[in-house]
C-alpha cells in the first residue's frame, strides 16, 4: 500500500511540474484546419508578393522570426511598439534601424483577419512567413507547427542580452544558442541563413579594417569601397552577406567562411580553428545536408517557449496589445 501511495505521489508531482511549462506538443501543423483553413495560403500569397517586390525581404523575414524567438520565446513580442507599458524590442541594440519586415507581417495579418478575425496569431504568421520566405528564394521548406499565441509584454533588456551581435565570440554564441535549447549544429545551420541578405557597414567596419589574419585581403579591400573607416560615415551602407550568390539560398556562405570571406566576425568564428569547423566543412560540401539541417533547426527554434492555450492573446493588430 505504501509503495502504491508513493508511486501515486510521484506521478502526481510530475504532472504538477509538467503543467507549469508550455508543451511543444500543444503546437500542431493542422492547428487552423477547422478554424481558418485558408490561413496558410493567404500568408504564402502575401510573402511571395513581398519577396517578389524586394528579394532582400526573404532574409529580413527569417531574421525577424529569429529575433522574436530569442526574446521571451516565439511570441511576437518583437512586433510591439512603445507604449506606457511596453519598452519596445524594436529599439534594442540589435534591432534598432536594422530589423525589417514588420509591414509585410502586418499586411499578411490584415488579410488573415479579413477572413478569420481573431483566430491566427502574429507569432504564427511570423513563423509561417519565415518558411515561405525561404522557399521563395530557393531555400528549403518545412511543416510549421502552429498554435502560438501573442505576448502582451516585450523586453528591450532581454533583446539586448539574448540576441547575438556581429562581434559575438564562438564561445558566447554556443552559450546563447544552448540557452535556447539549440545545439552547435543548429547554430551553424541557422547561421547559414546569411547566404541571403545584407549587412550594414557599422556591423562589419571593424572586421574589414583591422587587418587581421582571419579575413581575405582582397575581400576586405572590396568591402572597404562602400564602408568608410571613419565611425559615423556610411554606417547604413549595405553589403551582401554572401558575395557570390547574395539573392539565392544555397551553401556558398560556408564556402566563403573557408576562404576567410565571412562578412561579420560572428560568421567567421564558425570557421576559425574551433569546434564548429567540421560542421562548416560538411555544409560547404553537401548542400542537401545543409538544407535539411536548416529546416530542422528552424523547426526547433520555432518551438522555443511558445505561449499556448489560454496564455497571452491573439492580437488584432500585431504592433499593439488588444
Q: Where are the alpha helices (DSSP H) in 20-56?
A: 39-53
65 has binding-site annotation: no
**Residues constituting the chain:** 322
Residue 179 CB contacts under 8 Å (≥ 6 apart), including other chains: 162
DSSP state of 1: -
* Under 8 Å between Cβ of 201 and 237: yes
Which one from 63, 67, 223, 260 is the annotated catalytic residue?
67
77 has binding-site annotation: yes
194 has binding-site annotation: yes
195 has binding-site annotation: yes
> How does 207-220 read in b/e, with b if 16+ C-beta sit within 10 Å?
bbeeeeeebeeebb
71 has binding-site annotation: yes
**Residue 151 CA: distances (Å) to CA of 69, 78, 79, 319, 322:** 12, 10, 10, 11, 11
320 has binding-site annotation: no
245 has binding-site annotation: yes
81 has binding-site annotation: no
Q: Which residue shows C-alpha cell 496564455?
A: 311
Is 65 catalytic? The answer is no
73 has binding-site annotation: yes
**Residue 184 CA: distances (Å) to CA of 95, 111, 170, 187, 189:** 24, 38, 10, 5, 9
Question: Which residues are marked as active site?
Answer: 67
Which positions make up the binding site?
A: 68, 71, 73, 75, 77, 89, 164, 194-195, 242, 245, 250
Which positions make up the binding site for substrate?
A: 164
Which positions make up the binding site for heme b?
A: 194
Which positions make up the binding site for Ca(2+)?
A: 68, 71, 73, 75, 77, 89, 195, 242, 245, 250
Amino acid at each position: 500500500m505504501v509503495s502504491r501511495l508513493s508511486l501515486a505521489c510521484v506521478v502526481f508531482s510530475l504532472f504538477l511540474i509538467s503543467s507549469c511549462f508550455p508543451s511543444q506538443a500543444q503546437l500542431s501543423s493542422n492547428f487552423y484546419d477547422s478554424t481558418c483553413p485558408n490561413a496558410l495560403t493567404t500568408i504564402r500569397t502575401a510573402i511571395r508578393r513581398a519577396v517578389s517586390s524586394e528579394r532582400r525581404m526573404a532574409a529580413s523575414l527569417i531574421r525577424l522570426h529569429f529575433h522574436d524567438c530569442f526574446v521571451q520565446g516565439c511570441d511576437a513580442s518583437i512586433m510591439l511598439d512603445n507604449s506606457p507599458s511596453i519598452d519596445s524590442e524594436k529599439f534594442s541594440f540589435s534591432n534598432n534601424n536594422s530589423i525589417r519586415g514588420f509591414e509585410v507581417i502586418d499586411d499578411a495579418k490584415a488579410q488573415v483577419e479579413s477572413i478569420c478575425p481573431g483566430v491566427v496569431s502574429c507569432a504564427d504568421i511570423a513563423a509561417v512567413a519565415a518558411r515561405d520566405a525561404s522557399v521563395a528564394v530557393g531555400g528549403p521548406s518545412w511543416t510549421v507547427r502552429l498554435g502560438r499565441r501573442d505576448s502582451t509584454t516585450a523586453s528591450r533588456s532581454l533583446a539586448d542580452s539574448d540576441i547575438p551581435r556581429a562581434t559575438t565570440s564562438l564561445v558566447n554564441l554556443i552559450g546563447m544558442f544552448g540557452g535556447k535549447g539549440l545545439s552547435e549544429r543548429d547554430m551553424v545551420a541557422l547561421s547559414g541563413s546569411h547566404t541571403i541578405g545584407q549587412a550594414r557597414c557599422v556591423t562589419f567596419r571593424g572586421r574589414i579594417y583591422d587587418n587581421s589574419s582571419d579575413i581575405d585581403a582582397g575581400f576586405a579591400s572590396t568591402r572597404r569601397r562602400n564602408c568608410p573607416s571613419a565611425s559615423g560615415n556610411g554606417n547604413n551602407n549595405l553589403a551582401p552577406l554572401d558575395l557570390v550568390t547574395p539573392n539565392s539560398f544555397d551553401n556558398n556562405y560556408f564556402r566563403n567562411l573557408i576562404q576567410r570571406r565571412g562578412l561579420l566576425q560572428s560568421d567567421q568564428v564558425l570557421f576559425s580553428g574551433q569546434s564548429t569547423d567540421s560542421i562548416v566543412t560538411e555544409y560547404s560540401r553537401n548542400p542537401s545536408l545543409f538544407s535539411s539541417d536548416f529546416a530542422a533547426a528552424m523547426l526547433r527554434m520555432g518551438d522555443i517557449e511558445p505561449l499556448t492555450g489560454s496564455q497571452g492573446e491573439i492580437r488584432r493588430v500585431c504592433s499593439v496589445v488588444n
